[in-house]
């Protein structure tokens, strides 16, 4: 992994940790996800969750909360993290969110209008 890509992966992991903190403040302590982040870091955690056959308990919980925009699947699809994930991972993330009736394209448009 090149230095730029390593830095991007570190930023991805840091942003996922911030998301865990935000979800905890909203009443959802995503403990299993946080443990995975500590063990595997962000990119590998995302790959494992996105490529799993079923939607995770956490993804269902986020749907119930109306917070699918904070899912790891959504982070994988952000254009500025595209180079961290291959097409298979990104496609699976997209399909999982669409299967939950989440408007992925609208969220990407919203985020790219306020990109970092």
pLDDT digits 0-9 by tens, 78-98: 999 999 999 999 999 999 999
Residue 99 burial by CB count (10 A; 0-12/13-18/19+): exposed, middle or buried?
Answer: exposed
pLDDT of residue 30: 92
pLDDT of residue 83: 96
Query: Would the pLDDT of 1 be above 70?
Result: no
Show Cβ contacts of residue 97 under 8 Å, excluding neighbours closer than 6 positions.
68, 71, 73, 74, 77, 104
pLDDT of residue 99: 95
Instruction: Give mean pLDDT, residues 23-41.
Output: 95
Q: In the chain, pLDDT over 70 holds for what percent of residues?
A: 97
Contact 78, 69 (CB under 8 A): no
Query: Would the pLDDT of 103 be above 70?
Result: yes
Residue 46 burial by CB count (10 A; 0-12/13-18/19+): exposed, middle or buried?
Answer: buried
pLDDT of residue 106: 96
Query: Which ranges constitute the DSSP H helices of 30-86?
Result: 31-51, 57-65, 72-77
Show Cβ contacts of residue 18 under 8 Å, excluding neighbours closer than 6 positions.
none
């Amino acid at each position: 992994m090149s230095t730029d890509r390593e830095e991007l992966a570190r930023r991805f992991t840091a942003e996922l940790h911030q998301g865990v903190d935000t979800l905890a403040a909203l009443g959802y302590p995503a403990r299993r996800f946080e443990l995975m982040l500590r063990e595997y870091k962000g990119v590998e955690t995302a790959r494992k969750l996105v490529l799993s056959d079923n939607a995770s308990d956490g993804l269902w919980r986020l749907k119930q909360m109306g917070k699918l925009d904070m899912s790891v699947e959504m982070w994988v699809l952000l254009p500025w993290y595209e180079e961290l994930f291959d097409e298979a991972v990104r496609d699976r993330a997209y399909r999982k969110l669409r299967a939950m009736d989440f408007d992925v394209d609208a969220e990407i448009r919203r985020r790219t209008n306020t990109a970092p």
